[in-house]
Amino acid sequence: MLSKLYIQFAICSQLIIFTELRQSYLTTVVVFIYLPVLRFNLQCLLSFVLMSKRSKRNLHFNNKFQTKLVLNFDFLIYDTITTMSKRNTQQRRHNILNQLSNNGEVSVDALAVEFETSEVTIRKDLSALEKSGLLLRKYGGAIPLPTEITSPDHTEKVSKQKLAIAIEAAKHVCDHHRIIIDSGRTTAAIIPELKHKKGLVVMTNSLSIADALNALENEPTLLMTGGTWDSSSEAFQGKVAELVLRSYDFDQLFIGADGIDLERGTTTFNELIGLSQVMSEVAREVIVVVESEKIGRKIPNLELPWYSIDTLITDDGLSTQMQNEISAQGINLICAENK
């Protein structure tokens, strides 16, 4: 009887300690250190019971029971570690978003130090948050989504600006020109304005732009870069696309930008800038189309330096000072009038 009570007390004590540990906020590292010890103690206790003839007679323990009990305990360990890991991940990502909201930017190395985890884990967090549409990744960290994406009231104003820019950009395209149209909403707005152009050959890395070109009645010759699909830019990128582009020569490139650094050139949130640079190399004229509100916005990733750009088309919301700074870079600046 005393042996039976001792066994029940020992098992209950171990489970109570385990329950307290599960409900606490100790780190996963402590859990991984403690649980194997707890499992070993349980196995030793069961082995002791099985070696006792008296225990065999009174408690009817057997190997099958021991195996079942240890397997159930293993499942409990796995369930606990999984639950704690998910809880820690969710809390960490919530804190990352709070820091981003307060500071306007977060870095991978600083977050790794603060949360006492690896930079690989932080990069996975940022990637997951980006896929959920909560931030934009940049080299070494992340930044908030730009206002034109998050603010629904801003859509109509931007749409008018894009239309004015698109109409002006289409005036620079002649019949039988060979042009590249990069992915983007501003560049996509140019497509309907090309409906009267004859004999065009158009290369693009965007499926949506390709669909719009294919729907035109003047039926331009459509070329696709192919390559690796990039979900963040919704376009093809990579070495294959670059090789395809280098097989041709073009009259013009129409390309957008996430921002314009007045000292350096066009900037982007996307870290994949190789294809854009190849586009500029194979085109005789590089035309950047961008809304005036993006001019002066500094983003770490430089896409095209000023010496790679010939013409910049924007709307009439650009200040005189900014106009002078851009023109001083030797750029042909055109401010389209909003209608």
Q: Identify which has the larger pLDDT, 106 or 68.
A: 106
HSE-up (13 A, CA, CB side) for residue 262? 15
Q: CATH classification of 152-336, choosing from 3.40.50.1360, 3.90.1150.10, 3.30.572.10, 3.40.50.300?
A: 3.40.50.1360
Q: How far apart are CA 260 and CA 44, in angstroms?
A: 69
Beta strand residue intervals within 196-240, DSSP E = 201-204, 221-224, 228-230, 235-237
Q: What is the dihedral of CA 83, 33, 16, 75, to 10 degrees?
A: 50
Q: How far apart are CA 280 and CA 67, in angstroms?
A: 68
Helix (H) or strand (E) holding 107: strand 106-107
User: Both tokens of residue 318?
Assistant: 């650009």
* Residue 160, burial from CB neighbour count under 10 angstroms (0-12, 13-18, 19+): middle
Q: How far apart are CA 242 and CA 255, in angstroms?
A: 16
Between the ranges 31-45, 72-86, 306-320, where is the mean pLDDT highest? Answer: 306-320
Taking Cα atoms as reference points, which of 152, 139, 142 lies closest to residue 97?
142
CB 191 within 8 A of CB 181: yes
* Residue 172, burial from CB neighbour count under 10 angstroms (0-12, 13-18, 19+): middle
CB 75 within 8 A of CB 39: no
Q: Could you read off the pLDDT of 118-169 as tens digits, one per residue?
A: 999 999 998 888 877 788 787 788 888 765 444 444 444 447 889 999 999 9
- Count Cβ atoms below 10 Å from residue 193 Cβ, excluding itself: 16
Q: How far apart are CA 70 and CA 52, in angstroms?
A: 19
CB 255 within 8 A of CB 289: yes
Confidence band for 59, pLDDT divided at 50, 70 and 90: very low
| Domain boundaries, given as residue ranges, for the chain | 2-88, 152-336
Q: How far apart are CA 256 and CA 287, in angstroms?
A: 9
- Compute the average pLDDT of residues 219-233: 87
What pLDDT score was predicted for residue 83? 53
Alpha helices (H) in 132-285, listed in sequence order: 147-150, 155-170, 185-188, 207-214, 239-245, 274-282
Q: Could you read off the pLDDT of 299-309 as tens digits, one per residue?
A: 878 899 999 99
Q: Does the structure show a pLDDT above 80 at 91?
A: yes
Of all residues in the chain, the percent with pLDDT exceeding 70 is: 70
DSSP single-letter state for residue 142: E
pTM for this one? 0.59
Beta strands 311-315 and 283-289, pairing class: parallel
CB 282 within 8 A of CB 249: yes
* Residue 214, burial from CB neighbour count under 10 angstroms (0-12, 13-18, 19+): exposed
